[in-house]
Amino acid sequence: MHFKLIIAFTDSTITEKVVCAAREKGATGATVIPSARGEGIQVAKTFLGLSLETQRDVVLMLVEEHLCRDILETMASTGEFEANPGSGIAFSIDVEDAVGVSHQVSQLREMIEEEI
What confidence tens digit (pLDDT) does each residue in 69-78 have?
A: 999 999 999 9
Q: Which amino acid is at 3?
A: F
List pLDDT tens digits, range 77-110. 999 999 988 889 999 999 998 888 777 776 767 7
What domains, with CATH codes, occur in the chain? 3-40+53-115 (3.30.70.120)
- Of the pLDDT bands very low, low, confident and very high (cuts 50, 70, 90), residue 50 is low
Alpha carbon separation from 85 to 3, 28, 50, 73, 81 (Å, rounded): 29, 28, 22, 16, 7
Q: Per residue in 86-100, is it b (16+ CB within 10 Å) or e — as a string?
A: ebbbbebeeeeeeee
Average pLDDT, the chain: 85
d(CA 103, CA 106): 7
